[in-house]
Amino acid sequence: MSGAVVFVVKGYPRLSETFIAQEIMALEQRGLDIRIASIRRPTDAERHPIHDDIKAPVTYLPEFPALEPLRVFRAWKRLRSRAGFRADFRAAWGQWLSDLRRGPSPARARSFAQALVLADEAGPGVSRLHAHFLHTPASVARYAAMMLDIPWSCSAHARDIWTTPAWEKTEKLKTADWLVTCTAHGQRHLNALAALADRPDAVELVYHGLDLGRFPAPDRGVSQPDGGSEKDPVVILSVGRAVEKKGYGTLLGALGRIPEDLHWRFVHIGGGPLRGGLQRRARALGIGGRITWMGACAQETVLEHYRAADLFVLASRIAPDGDRDGLPNVLMEAQSQGLACVSTALSAIPELIVDGETGVLVPPGDEESLAAAVAELIADPDLRARLGAGGHRRVRERFSHDRDLDRLARKFGLRAPMVRECA
């Protein structure tokens, strides 16, 4: 690969998107010259250690271009002096106007100005733009790539796949140099659209996987609680933002249904706009005293809680706007620590969790089934141990970060063996 690659992301760094940082760091170790362009500035108080290991410089694009009009104007003025820019600019401008007419939104209205700044400030020697997420970051990368007359590519994930209009996904599949996604479920959906763009099988499956060097296997010990002692309750953990697609309303309802003679404590890690409402609902259900709301935490703290927990639950569902999980990294993280996991038979989750073998799956939104599954696992430490061991094996055999990284590296023209650190 000759030349630098600019990774266009929605926000950086973000606690909820460590999988992107993991990928960037691994590709840097392979020798890829990476620069990061972020549409939003960081909002998390904490950051993961992996962000400190990344060397790529970060440029923050104007999230609200109207607040930085001189920056946008200067970008346009400097770009005008480049050879061939007028024709490339007209093509990008025409594409943006067409997209805006078909799908007007504030984010789309801002995206052209952000693309102007990206094209101007990307720096010398850039040979490719690569977007993480198929919605706004891909739009910005696409318009900027047209202005610079260079290829663009994309990694699609979950929300971006299921909330972006079909016409827009099809249009982007026509012009992207290549596209990968992190679940077979998402790959099937996108390749159906790619066929409409005369590019069947254009989308390749590349699992994020887990950097097992950062999640060494723990010693879980021999004695496990069975819910019979109020002094030694079973600790249930969930890690995820308090948003609709994570199903925390369903989970709280299920916890409220667990028989009173079973003793448990629930720990939630994550921020999110619904957190206050969930806390109020927990109090109304009479279970508020059993719940600890940790808020967003750094990775070291999250790892400590995985190791202290007895059971992991994530009640993923489809949100009213179509948003849903793909393959949540937190499930892989929990399984890497030998935790038995309960989740829902939704999207790509069954690609990781085999019901009854490496965890338990219930229908999305079904409080009664979720309550029954959690209650059974609270009372049966042997079953938790068996499922936890099965999940641990599956993650290490099928979802190691190294497993699919070679394929992604080849997409960027890298062929040298990956630099691996000793555990």
pLDDT in tens, 137-196: 999 999 999 999 999 999 999 999 999 999 999 999 999 999 999 999 999 999 999 998
**Domain residues of the chain, as ranges?**
4-209+401-411, 213-398
Buried b or exposed e, range 73-111, using 16+ CB within 10 angstroms: eebbeebeeeeebeebbeebbebbeebeeeeeeeebebb
Residue type for position 403: R
- Would you give the DSSP letter of residue 81? T
* Confidence band of 223 (pLDDT split at 50, 70, 90): low
Nearest to 268 by CA among 324, 355, 346, 288: 288
pLDDT digits (tens, 9 = 90+) for 296-323: 998 889 999 999 999 999 999 999 999 9
Burial status of residue 161 (CB atoms within 10 A of its CB: 0-12, 13-18, 19 or more):
buried
Place of tokens 């690569």: 130
pLDDT digits (tens, 9 = 90+) for 285-303: 999 999 999 999 988 899 9
Q: How far apart are CA 67 and CA 130, in angstroms?
A: 26
> pTM here?
0.85
pLDDT digits (tens, 9 = 90+) for 374-411: 999 999 999 999 999 999 999 999 998 887 888 899 99
Which one of 25-34, 46-55, 79-88, 197-206 scores highest in mean pLDDT?
25-34
Q: How far apart are CA 86 and CA 92, in angstroms?
A: 10
- With 70 as the cut, is the pLDDT of residue 332 above it? yes
Q: How far apart are CA 345 and CA 355, in angstroms?
A: 9
- Token code pair at residue 222: 């021999």
- Phi and psi for 154 in degrees, rounded to 5? -155, 145
Q: Is 181 helix (H, G, I), strand (E, B) or coil?
A: strand
Cα distances (Å, whole numbers) of residue 249 to 331, 336, 375: 19, 26, 17
Q: What is the mean pLDDT of the chain?
A: 93
Span 90-118, average pLDDT: 96
Q: Is 359 helix (H, G, I), strand (E, B) or coil?
A: strand
pLDDT digits (tens, 9 = 90+) for 106-130: 999 999 999 999 999 998 899 999 9
Using an 8 Å Cβ cutoff, are 330 and 16 in contact? no
* Confidence band of 423 (pLDDT split at 50, 70, 90): very low
Residue type for position 150: I
- With 60 as the cut, is the pLDDT of residue 418 above it? no
Span 242-255, average pLDDT: 98
- The half-sphere exposure of 34 on its side-chain side, counting CA atoms within 13 A, is 26
Q: Concatenated DSSP letters for 276-314?
A: HHHHHHHHHTT-GGGEEEEES--HHHHHHHHHH-SEEE-
**What's the pLDDT score for residue 60?**
98
User: What CATH topology corresponds to 4-209+401-411?
Assistant: Rossmann fold (3.40.50)
Fold identical between 4-209+401-411 and 213-398?
Answer: yes
User: What CATH topology corresponds to 213-398?
Assistant: Rossmann fold (3.40.50)
Which long-range contacts (C-beta less than 8 Å, at least 24 apart) are formed by 52-55? Answer: 53/25, 54/21, 54/24, 54/25, 54/28, 55/28
| Paired residues of 131 in beta bridges | 8, 154
**What's the pLDDT score for residue 49?**
84
Span 212-238, average pLDDT: 88
